[in-house]
Amino acid sequence: MSISIRLNKVDTDLIKSYASMRGMTVSELVRKIVMDHIEEEFGLKEYEKAYAEYRNNPVTYTLDEVVKDLDLA
């Protein structure tokens, strides 16, 4: 898949310089940054969901309890 974006010369030069500084192509840099942002946003949504569940039922477990319940020992 190919995606095109329009940038002014200043932004283009900055992105190219940054990619070069990181030893990446512009495509690699843009892909990495976009994927990292998506992962962070998904992670934040999962955190918010888990925290809301915890607020509704604030039960906590010790590490020993988790290890025992999951039969990890």
**What are the mean pLDDT values of the chain's consecutive 10-residue runs (73 residues total)?**
94 98 97 98 97 96 96 89
Whether pTM exceeds 0.75: no
- Report the alpha-carbon distance of residue 62 to residue 54 in Å, rounded: 15
- Within the chain, where are the H helices? 9-21, 26-56, 63-69
Cα separations in angstroms, 56 against 23, 24, 62: 47, 46, 19
Cβ(12)–Cβ(23) below 8 Å: no
- Report the alpha-carbon distance of residue 14 to residue 20 in Å, rounded: 10
Would you give the DSSP letter of residue 59?
-
